[in-house]
Amino acid sequence: MTTIKDACAIVSLKHALTLICVSTSALFAYAAVGRSMSGESMRLRQTAQFHKSIVHDAASPDVLASSPSCQVMRSRSMTGPASAQVIQEMTAELTRYRATIDNCPMFMTNYQASDPYVYWTPWQPDDTIGKWSRHLDCQSDEFCDAMYPLEENRQIAKHLYDHQHPVDCANAKFLVITKEWIGGIGSAIHVKSFVLLSALKGARVLIDAADENRWRFTHPALCDRGSMECFFAPLTHCQLPPNWKGTARPLVSLDDDAQYLFTNSSPAAAGIAGGTGLHHLGFDHKPPSWWVTHASAYIVRPNLQTLQATCFAWNCIMHGAAQPVRPFASVFVRAGDKHKEANPTDPHEYFSALWSLSHNLTEPVRTVYVGTDSALLLNRVIQDYRDDWNMVWTGYFRSAIGTEEPKEISMAFTAELGLMSLITLVDVYISSAADVLVGTLTSNQCRLRDELRKVQGKARMPYVTPERQLLAGV
Protein backbone atom coordinates (compact mmCIF):
# COMPACT_ATOMS: atom_id res chain seq x y z
CA MET A 1 0.00 0.00 0.00
CA THR A 2 1.20 3.48 -0.82
CA THR A 3 1.78 5.53 2.30
CA ILE A 4 1.10 9.23 2.09
CA LYS A 5 1.29 12.24 4.32
CA ASP A 6 -1.44 14.69 3.50
CA ALA A 7 -1.42 18.42 3.75
CA CYS A 8 -5.08 19.43 3.89
CA ALA A 9 -6.61 22.84 3.47
CA ILE A 10 -9.83 24.43 2.36
CA VAL A 11 -9.04 26.48 -0.70
CA SER A 12 -11.49 28.92 -2.26
CA LEU A 13 -11.03 29.04 -6.01
CA LYS A 14 -12.91 31.52 -8.17
CA HIS A 15 -15.80 29.18 -8.85
CA ALA A 16 -15.23 26.26 -6.49
CA LEU A 17 -14.60 25.38 -2.89
CA THR A 18 -11.98 22.70 -2.60
CA LEU A 19 -10.73 20.61 0.29
CA ILE A 20 -7.35 19.54 -1.01
CA CYS A 21 -5.29 16.72 0.44
CA VAL A 22 -2.21 16.59 -1.71
CA SER A 23 0.19 13.70 -1.47
CA THR A 24 3.80 14.55 -0.87
CA SER A 25 4.82 11.75 -3.23
CA ALA A 26 3.69 10.48 -6.61
CA LEU A 27 0.46 8.60 -6.04
CA PHE A 28 -0.38 7.00 -9.33
CA ALA A 29 2.24 5.09 -11.22
CA TYR A 30 -0.10 3.76 -13.88
CA ALA A 31 -0.47 7.19 -15.47
CA ALA A 32 3.29 7.38 -16.10
CA VAL A 33 3.35 4.41 -18.46
CA GLY A 34 1.28 3.15 -21.36
CA ARG A 35 0.38 4.22 -24.87
CA SER A 36 0.81 7.61 -25.93
CA MET A 37 -41.55 33.44 -15.63
CA SER A 38 -41.49 35.69 -18.65
CA GLY A 39 -43.58 35.10 -21.78
CA GLU A 40 -40.80 32.83 -22.97
CA SER A 41 -40.97 30.85 -19.72
CA MET A 42 -44.72 30.38 -20.10
CA ARG A 43 -44.36 29.31 -23.73
CA LEU A 44 -41.72 26.74 -22.80
CA ARG A 45 -43.85 25.39 -19.97
CA GLN A 46 -46.85 25.00 -22.30
CA THR A 47 -44.65 23.24 -24.85
CA ALA A 48 -43.33 20.90 -22.14
CA GLN A 49 -46.92 20.12 -21.09
CA PHE A 50 -47.76 19.25 -24.70
CA HIS A 51 -44.78 16.93 -24.96
CA LYS A 52 -45.79 15.06 -21.80
CA SER A 53 -47.79 12.83 -24.13
CA ILE A 54 -44.46 11.52 -25.46
CA VAL A 55 -43.68 8.43 -23.40
CA HIS A 56 -41.23 5.75 -24.49
CA ASP A 57 -41.08 2.19 -23.23
CA ALA A 58 -37.57 0.80 -22.74
CA ALA A 59 -38.86 -2.66 -23.66
CA SER A 60 -38.70 -1.53 -27.29
CA PRO A 61 -35.17 -0.14 -27.85
CA ASP A 62 -35.85 0.28 -31.58
CA VAL A 63 -38.65 2.72 -30.81
CA LEU A 64 -36.45 4.55 -28.34
CA ALA A 65 -33.62 4.76 -30.87
CA SER A 66 -35.94 6.46 -33.33
CA SER A 67 -36.79 9.30 -30.94
CA PRO A 68 -35.23 12.69 -31.76
CA SER A 69 -33.69 12.96 -28.29
CA CYS A 70 -31.98 9.59 -28.56
CA GLN A 71 -30.61 10.54 -31.93
CA VAL A 72 -29.17 13.71 -30.42
CA MET A 73 -27.56 11.71 -27.61
CA ARG A 74 -25.95 9.31 -30.05
CA SER A 75 -24.68 12.18 -32.18
CA ARG A 76 -21.16 13.57 -32.16
CA SER A 77 -22.00 16.70 -34.12
CA MET A 78 -23.35 19.00 -31.38
CA THR A 79 -20.70 21.71 -31.63
CA GLY A 80 -22.99 24.55 -30.61
CA PRO A 81 -26.04 25.28 -28.45
CA ALA A 82 -29.16 23.30 -29.21
CA SER A 83 -32.15 24.96 -30.83
CA ALA A 84 -35.14 25.92 -28.71
CA GLN A 85 -37.13 23.09 -30.29
CA VAL A 86 -34.49 20.47 -29.45
CA ILE A 87 -34.31 21.76 -25.86
CA GLN A 88 -38.09 21.51 -25.48
CA GLU A 89 -38.34 18.05 -27.00
CA MET A 90 -35.43 16.61 -25.04
CA THR A 91 -36.63 18.07 -21.74
CA ALA A 92 -40.06 16.52 -22.27
CA GLU A 93 -38.84 13.14 -23.52
CA LEU A 94 -36.17 12.62 -20.86
CA THR A 95 -38.36 13.54 -17.92
CA ARG A 96 -41.37 11.51 -19.06
CA TYR A 97 -39.54 8.26 -19.73
CA ARG A 98 -41.09 5.19 -18.04
CA ALA A 99 -38.20 3.93 -15.97
CA THR A 100 -38.72 0.77 -13.89
CA ILE A 101 -36.58 -1.81 -12.13
CA ASP A 102 -37.35 -4.20 -14.99
CA ASN A 103 -36.19 -1.95 -17.83
CA CYS A 104 -33.50 -0.03 -15.93
CA PRO A 105 -32.26 -2.16 -13.00
CA MET A 106 -28.86 -0.48 -12.70
CA PHE A 107 -30.34 2.88 -11.74
CA MET A 108 -33.82 2.05 -10.39
CA THR A 109 -33.07 -0.82 -7.98
CA ASN A 110 -31.89 1.43 -5.13
CA TYR A 111 -34.42 4.21 -5.70
CA GLN A 112 -37.07 4.71 -3.03
CA ALA A 113 -40.30 6.36 -4.14
CA SER A 114 -41.19 7.27 -0.55
CA ASP A 115 -39.38 7.90 2.70
CA PRO A 116 -37.15 6.68 4.12
CA TYR A 117 -35.01 7.31 1.00
CA VAL A 118 -31.72 6.99 2.82
CA TYR A 119 -29.17 5.82 0.31
CA TRP A 120 -28.75 5.61 -3.46
CA THR A 121 -26.04 4.06 -5.60
CA PRO A 122 -26.15 2.32 -8.96
CA TRP A 123 -26.80 -1.41 -8.69
CA GLN A 124 -24.62 -4.15 -10.10
CA PRO A 125 -24.20 -7.83 -9.19
CA ASP A 126 -22.45 -8.20 -5.82
CA ASP A 127 -19.80 -10.50 -7.21
CA THR A 128 -18.64 -7.80 -9.64
CA ILE A 129 -18.04 -5.03 -7.07
CA GLY A 130 -14.29 -4.84 -6.69
CA LYS A 131 -13.84 -8.01 -8.73
CA TRP A 132 -11.12 -6.63 -10.99
CA SER A 133 -9.12 -4.65 -8.40
CA ARG A 134 -8.79 -6.98 -5.41
CA HIS A 135 -5.19 -7.83 -6.31
CA LEU A 136 -4.13 -4.18 -6.56
CA ASP A 137 -2.52 -2.11 -3.84
CA CYS A 138 -4.53 0.86 -2.61
CA GLN A 139 -3.47 4.24 -3.93
CA SER A 140 -3.62 5.68 -0.41
CA ASP A 141 -5.39 5.19 2.90
CA GLU A 142 -8.26 7.37 1.68
CA PHE A 143 -8.59 5.57 -1.65
CA CYS A 144 -9.04 2.10 -0.18
CA ASP A 145 -11.77 -0.35 0.76
CA ALA A 146 -10.96 -0.10 4.46
CA MET A 147 -11.94 3.57 4.44
CA TYR A 148 -15.37 2.89 2.91
CA PRO A 149 -16.76 -0.49 4.05
CA LEU A 150 -20.30 -0.93 2.76
CA GLU A 151 -21.96 -1.47 6.12
CA GLU A 152 -20.36 1.69 7.50
CA ASN A 153 -21.38 3.63 4.38
CA ARG A 154 -24.99 2.67 4.97
CA GLN A 155 -24.69 3.49 8.67
CA ILE A 156 -23.53 7.07 8.08
CA ALA A 157 -26.14 7.52 5.31
CA LYS A 158 -28.83 6.51 7.83
CA HIS A 159 -27.40 8.93 10.39
CA LEU A 160 -27.50 11.82 7.90
CA TYR A 161 -31.07 10.94 6.93
CA ASP A 162 -32.23 10.71 10.56
CA HIS A 163 -30.49 13.99 11.40
CA GLN A 164 -32.36 15.72 8.56
CA HIS A 165 -35.68 14.06 9.47
CA PRO A 166 -36.28 14.73 13.19
CA VAL A 167 -39.41 13.35 14.80
CA ASP A 168 -40.42 16.80 16.06
CA CYS A 169 -39.66 19.58 13.60
CA ALA A 170 -41.36 22.20 15.80
CA ASN A 171 -38.68 21.91 18.47
CA ALA A 172 -35.68 21.29 16.22
CA LYS A 173 -32.99 23.86 15.53
CA PHE A 174 -32.23 24.87 11.97
CA LEU A 175 -29.51 26.22 9.74
CA VAL A 176 -31.21 27.95 6.80
CA ILE A 177 -29.54 28.66 3.46
CA THR A 178 -30.92 31.95 2.14
CA LYS A 179 -28.65 32.61 -0.84
CA GLU A 180 -26.86 30.38 -3.30
CA TRP A 181 -23.17 30.07 -4.04
CA ILE A 182 -22.34 31.46 -7.49
CA GLY A 183 -20.54 28.71 -9.36
CA GLY A 184 -21.01 25.67 -11.55
CA ILE A 185 -23.42 22.90 -10.58
CA GLY A 186 -20.68 20.63 -9.19
CA SER A 187 -19.23 23.46 -7.12
CA ALA A 188 -22.69 24.47 -5.83
CA ILE A 189 -23.38 20.90 -4.66
CA HIS A 190 -20.07 20.60 -2.89
CA VAL A 191 -20.37 23.92 -1.10
CA LYS A 192 -23.78 22.75 0.12
CA SER A 193 -22.14 19.54 1.35
CA PHE A 194 -19.88 21.61 3.60
CA VAL A 195 -22.85 23.62 4.89
CA LEU A 196 -24.64 20.33 5.67
CA LEU A 197 -21.61 19.30 7.73
CA SER A 198 -21.80 22.63 9.56
CA ALA A 199 -25.43 21.89 10.38
CA LEU A 200 -24.55 18.38 11.50
CA LYS A 201 -21.77 19.70 13.69
CA GLY A 202 -24.17 22.18 15.32
CA ALA A 203 -26.98 19.63 15.74
CA ARG A 204 -29.13 21.65 13.34
CA VAL A 205 -31.35 20.55 10.49
CA LEU A 206 -30.28 22.08 7.17
CA ILE A 207 -33.05 23.74 5.18
CA ASP A 208 -32.55 25.27 1.75
CA ALA A 209 -34.71 28.39 1.48
CA ALA A 210 -32.72 29.87 -1.39
CA ASP A 211 -35.35 28.80 -3.90
CA GLU A 212 -37.17 32.09 -3.28
CA ASN A 213 -35.08 33.22 -6.25
CA ARG A 214 -34.89 29.71 -7.80
CA TRP A 215 -31.77 27.60 -8.12
CA ARG A 216 -30.10 28.92 -11.27
CA PHE A 217 -29.89 25.44 -12.80
CA THR A 218 -33.67 24.94 -12.84
CA HIS A 219 -36.38 26.22 -15.16
CA PRO A 220 -40.20 25.96 -15.30
CA ALA A 221 -39.93 23.88 -18.48
CA LEU A 222 -38.05 21.29 -16.41
CA CYS A 223 -39.92 21.40 -13.09
CA ASP A 224 -42.10 23.58 -10.91
CA ARG A 225 -39.69 23.37 -7.98
CA GLY A 226 -37.06 26.10 -7.94
CA SER A 227 -34.72 24.40 -5.49
CA MET A 228 -32.38 21.42 -5.76
CA GLU A 229 -35.48 19.24 -5.41
CA CYS A 230 -35.88 19.73 -9.15
CA PHE A 231 -33.18 17.04 -9.44
CA PHE A 232 -32.74 15.46 -6.00
CA ALA A 233 -34.71 14.03 -3.11
CA PRO A 234 -35.66 16.60 -0.43
CA LEU A 235 -32.99 17.48 2.12
CA THR A 236 -35.55 17.30 4.93
CA HIS A 237 -39.26 16.91 5.59
CA CYS A 238 -39.31 19.94 7.91
CA GLN A 239 -40.92 23.16 6.69
CA LEU A 240 -40.11 26.67 7.80
CA PRO A 241 -42.99 28.50 9.52
CA PRO A 242 -44.09 31.77 7.86
CA ASN A 243 -42.63 33.91 10.67
CA TRP A 244 -39.26 32.19 11.03
CA LYS A 245 -37.28 35.28 9.99
CA GLY A 246 -38.61 37.21 12.97
CA THR A 247 -36.34 35.38 15.42
CA ALA A 248 -33.59 34.25 13.06
CA ARG A 249 -30.00 35.36 13.45
CA PRO A 250 -27.08 35.23 11.00
CA LEU A 251 -24.68 32.34 11.44
CA VAL A 252 -21.62 33.48 13.35
CA SER A 253 -21.17 30.57 15.73
CA LEU A 254 -22.83 27.18 15.92
CA ASP A 255 -23.03 27.71 19.68
CA ASP A 256 -25.75 30.35 19.18
CA ASP A 257 -28.93 29.06 20.86
CA ALA A 258 -31.35 30.70 18.39
CA GLN A 259 -33.75 28.21 16.81
CA TYR A 260 -33.05 29.62 13.35
CA LEU A 261 -29.65 30.59 12.05
CA PHE A 262 -29.34 31.69 8.43
CA THR A 263 -26.39 31.75 6.11
CA ASN A 264 -25.36 32.05 2.50
CA SER A 265 -24.31 28.87 0.76
CA SER A 266 -20.72 30.05 0.67
CA PRO A 267 -17.16 29.13 1.67
CA ALA A 268 -17.51 31.33 4.75
CA ALA A 269 -20.43 29.27 6.02
CA ALA A 270 -18.81 26.03 4.93
CA GLY A 271 -15.60 26.90 6.75
CA ILE A 272 -17.41 26.67 10.08
CA ALA A 273 -17.26 22.90 9.58
CA GLY A 274 -13.49 23.06 9.27
CA GLY A 275 -11.93 19.87 10.61
CA THR A 276 -15.54 18.63 10.78
CA GLY A 277 -15.46 18.31 14.61
CA LEU A 278 -17.93 15.44 14.30
CA HIS A 279 -16.12 13.08 16.66
CA HIS A 280 -19.23 12.55 18.76
CA LEU A 281 -20.61 10.30 16.04
CA GLY A 282 -17.95 7.66 16.64
CA PHE A 283 -15.91 8.15 13.48
CA ASP A 284 -12.89 9.88 15.03
CA HIS A 285 -10.51 8.19 12.61
CA LYS A 286 -12.18 9.53 9.47
CA PRO A 287 -10.61 12.43 7.53
CA PRO A 288 -12.62 15.49 6.41
CA SER A 289 -12.84 14.17 2.85
CA TRP A 290 -14.71 11.09 4.13
CA TRP A 291 -17.41 13.33 5.62
CA VAL A 292 -17.65 15.38 2.44
CA THR A 293 -18.06 12.20 0.38
CA HIS A 294 -21.02 11.08 2.49
CA ALA A 295 -22.61 14.53 2.64
CA SER A 296 -22.42 14.81 -1.15
CA ALA A 297 -23.85 11.30 -1.63
CA TYR A 298 -26.78 12.23 0.63
CA ILE A 299 -27.50 15.49 -1.21
CA VAL A 300 -27.46 14.00 -4.71
CA ARG A 301 -29.88 11.13 -4.09
CA PRO A 302 -31.69 11.41 -7.42
CA ASN A 303 -35.43 11.95 -7.63
CA LEU A 304 -37.62 10.00 -10.04
CA GLN A 305 -37.47 12.58 -12.82
CA THR A 306 -33.67 12.59 -12.80
CA LEU A 307 -33.57 8.80 -12.86
CA GLN A 308 -36.05 8.74 -15.72
CA ALA A 309 -33.65 10.92 -17.69
CA THR A 310 -30.70 8.74 -16.68
CA CYS A 311 -32.50 5.58 -17.76
CA PHE A 312 -33.54 7.20 -21.05
CA ALA A 313 -29.90 8.07 -21.77
CA TRP A 314 -28.60 4.67 -20.69
CA ASN A 315 -31.10 2.64 -22.70
CA CYS A 316 -30.54 4.91 -25.67
CA ILE A 317 -26.77 4.69 -25.83
CA MET A 318 -26.63 1.03 -24.73
CA HIS A 319 -29.49 -0.11 -26.99
CA GLY A 320 -31.49 -1.40 -24.03
CA ALA A 321 -28.72 -3.42 -22.33
CA ALA A 322 -29.41 -3.71 -18.58
CA GLN A 323 -25.70 -3.84 -17.65
CA PRO A 324 -22.54 -2.90 -19.53
CA VAL A 325 -19.98 -5.51 -20.46
CA ARG A 326 -17.66 -5.18 -17.47
CA PRO A 327 -15.09 -4.04 -16.54
CA PHE A 328 -16.72 -0.75 -17.47
CA ALA A 329 -14.79 2.54 -17.47
CA SER A 330 -15.93 6.15 -17.53
CA VAL A 331 -13.63 8.84 -18.89
CA PHE A 332 -14.53 12.49 -18.33
CA VAL A 333 -12.42 15.03 -20.20
CA ARG A 334 -13.18 18.39 -18.60
CA ALA A 335 -12.59 21.42 -20.77
CA GLY A 336 -14.89 24.45 -20.76
CA ASP A 337 -13.82 27.03 -18.20
CA LYS A 338 -11.43 24.72 -16.33
CA HIS A 339 -8.43 26.50 -17.84
CA LYS A 340 -8.89 28.94 -14.95
CA GLU A 341 -8.25 26.26 -12.32
CA ALA A 342 -6.01 23.69 -13.98
CA ASN A 343 -3.66 23.42 -16.91
CA PRO A 344 -5.36 21.88 -19.96
CA THR A 345 -4.52 18.19 -20.40
CA ASP A 346 -4.40 16.48 -23.75
CA PRO A 347 -7.20 13.86 -23.85
CA HIS A 348 -4.70 11.21 -24.99
CA GLU A 349 -3.14 11.37 -21.52
CA TYR A 350 -6.45 10.22 -20.04
CA PHE A 351 -6.63 7.25 -22.38
CA SER A 352 -2.96 6.35 -21.98
CA ALA A 353 -3.52 6.14 -18.25
CA LEU A 354 -6.65 4.03 -18.74
CA TRP A 355 -4.82 1.70 -21.12
CA SER A 356 -2.09 1.13 -18.55
CA LEU A 357 -4.49 0.39 -15.71
CA SER A 358 -6.71 -1.79 -17.89
CA HIS A 359 -3.84 -4.18 -18.55
CA ASN A 360 -3.14 -4.49 -14.83
CA LEU A 361 -6.68 -5.68 -14.03
CA THR A 362 -7.73 -9.30 -13.94
CA GLU A 363 -9.65 -8.60 -17.16
CA PRO A 364 -9.14 -5.63 -19.49
CA VAL A 365 -11.71 -2.85 -19.73
CA ARG A 366 -14.35 -3.63 -22.35
CA THR A 367 -16.71 -0.64 -22.40
CA VAL A 368 -15.78 3.06 -22.09
CA TYR A 369 -18.34 5.78 -21.47
CA VAL A 370 -16.95 9.16 -22.59
CA GLY A 371 -18.14 12.41 -21.06
CA THR A 372 -16.90 15.87 -21.93
CA ASP A 373 -18.14 19.43 -22.22
CA SER A 374 -16.48 19.74 -25.63
CA ALA A 375 -17.98 18.20 -28.78
CA LEU A 376 -14.64 18.66 -30.55
CA LEU A 377 -12.86 16.56 -27.93
CA LEU A 378 -15.61 13.95 -28.07
CA ASN A 379 -15.17 13.52 -31.81
CA ARG A 380 -11.43 13.29 -31.45
CA VAL A 381 -11.25 10.61 -28.76
CA ILE A 382 -13.97 8.42 -30.29
CA GLN A 383 -12.24 8.54 -33.64
CA ASP A 384 -8.88 7.65 -32.07
CA TYR A 385 -10.00 4.89 -29.66
CA ARG A 386 -13.10 3.24 -31.12
CA ASP A 387 -11.02 0.26 -32.28
CA ASP A 388 -9.71 -0.32 -28.73
CA TRP A 389 -12.94 -0.26 -26.73
CA ASN A 390 -16.69 -0.26 -27.11
CA MET A 391 -17.18 3.52 -26.89
CA VAL A 392 -20.49 5.05 -25.75
CA TRP A 393 -21.37 8.65 -24.97
CA THR A 394 -24.10 11.26 -24.61
CA GLY A 395 -23.40 13.75 -27.35
CA TYR A 396 -25.38 16.75 -26.10
CA PHE A 397 -23.62 20.13 -26.21
CA ARG A 398 -22.77 21.55 -22.79
CA SER A 399 -20.53 24.61 -22.79
CA ALA A 400 -18.02 26.60 -24.79
CA ILE A 401 -14.24 26.32 -24.49
CA GLY A 402 -12.28 29.27 -23.17
CA THR A 403 -15.18 31.53 -22.29
CA GLU A 404 -14.46 34.43 -19.97
CA GLU A 405 -17.00 33.17 -17.48
CA PRO A 406 -18.51 29.71 -17.03
CA LYS A 407 -21.40 29.01 -19.36
CA GLU A 408 -23.38 27.70 -16.40
CA ILE A 409 -23.35 31.13 -14.74
CA SER A 410 -24.06 33.34 -17.74
CA MET A 411 -27.06 31.18 -18.73
CA ALA A 412 -28.76 31.18 -15.31
CA PHE A 413 -32.49 30.34 -15.16
CA THR A 414 -32.77 29.39 -18.84
CA ALA A 415 -34.33 26.27 -20.33
CA GLU A 416 -31.02 25.54 -22.01
CA LEU A 417 -29.11 25.53 -18.72
CA GLY A 418 -31.84 23.43 -17.09
CA LEU A 419 -31.39 20.71 -19.72
CA MET A 420 -27.59 21.03 -19.66
CA SER A 421 -27.67 20.59 -15.86
CA LEU A 422 -29.93 17.56 -16.09
CA ILE A 423 -27.66 15.90 -18.65
CA THR A 424 -24.59 16.79 -16.56
CA LEU A 425 -26.17 14.88 -13.66
CA VAL A 426 -27.07 12.00 -16.01
CA ASP A 427 -23.35 11.90 -16.87
CA VAL A 428 -22.48 11.77 -13.17
CA TYR A 429 -24.88 8.91 -12.41
CA ILE A 430 -23.88 6.84 -15.44
CA SER A 431 -20.20 7.37 -14.61
CA SER A 432 -20.71 6.40 -10.98
CA ALA A 433 -21.83 2.96 -12.21
CA ALA A 434 -18.42 2.38 -13.78
CA ASP A 435 -15.75 0.09 -12.36
CA VAL A 436 -12.95 2.48 -13.37
CA LEU A 437 -13.05 6.28 -13.31
CA VAL A 438 -10.73 8.50 -15.34
CA GLY A 439 -10.71 12.27 -15.01
CA THR A 440 -9.30 15.35 -13.39
CA LEU A 441 -9.93 15.80 -9.68
CA THR A 442 -9.74 19.57 -10.15
CA SER A 443 -13.31 19.22 -11.46
CA ASN A 444 -16.20 19.15 -8.99
CA GLN A 445 -18.14 17.00 -11.44
CA CYS A 446 -15.38 14.38 -11.43
CA ARG A 447 -15.23 14.47 -7.65
CA LEU A 448 -18.97 13.75 -7.49
CA ARG A 449 -18.37 10.66 -9.61
CA ASP A 450 -15.58 9.57 -7.31
CA GLU A 451 -17.67 10.12 -4.17
CA LEU A 452 -20.54 7.99 -5.48
CA ARG A 453 -18.01 5.34 -6.52
CA LYS A 454 -16.52 5.18 -3.02
CA VAL A 455 -19.82 4.69 -1.20
CA GLN A 456 -20.50 1.69 -3.46
CA GLY A 457 -17.44 -0.08 -2.09
CA LYS A 458 -15.18 0.53 -5.10
CA ALA A 459 -12.56 2.66 -3.38
CA ARG A 460 -9.71 0.19 -4.01
CA MET A 461 -9.93 0.59 -7.77
CA PRO A 462 -7.39 3.31 -8.60
CA TYR A 463 -8.74 6.68 -9.64
CA VAL A 464 -7.03 7.33 -12.96
CA THR A 465 -5.90 10.94 -13.17
CA PRO A 466 -3.34 12.29 -15.65
CA GLU A 467 -2.23 14.90 -13.12
CA ARG A 468 -0.52 12.08 -11.20
CA GLN A 469 -1.69 13.33 -7.84
CA LEU A 470 -4.85 12.78 -5.84
CA LEU A 471 -7.01 15.51 -4.40
CA ALA A 472 -9.18 13.93 -1.73
CA GLY A 473 -12.57 15.36 -0.87
CA VAL A 474 -14.34 18.13 -2.75
Render pLDDT for 18-46 as a digit per residue (tens, 0 to 9): 443 333 222 333 333 333 333 433 433 33
Amino acid at 234: P
Mean pLDDT in residue range 65-72? 84
For the chain, state the CA radius of gyration.
Answer: 21
For the stretch 159-184, pLDDT in tens is 999 999 999 999 999 999 988 877 78
Q: What's the pLDDT tens digit per position in 8-20?
A: 333 333 334 444 3
Higher-scoring residue by pLDDT: 211, 316: 316
Which one of 9-13, 144-148, 327-331, 348-352 scores highest in mean pLDDT?
Answer: 327-331
Residue 268 confidence (pLDDT): 55
pTM of the entire predicted model: 0.84
Among 294, 277, 385, smallest CA distance to 331 is for: 385
Report percent pLDDT > 70 for the chain.
Answer: 74
Q: What are the domain boundaries of the chain?
A: 27-100+308-454, 126-299
Most confident segment among 228-242, 324-338, 363-377: 228-242
- Rounded CA-CA distance 314/302 in Å is 15
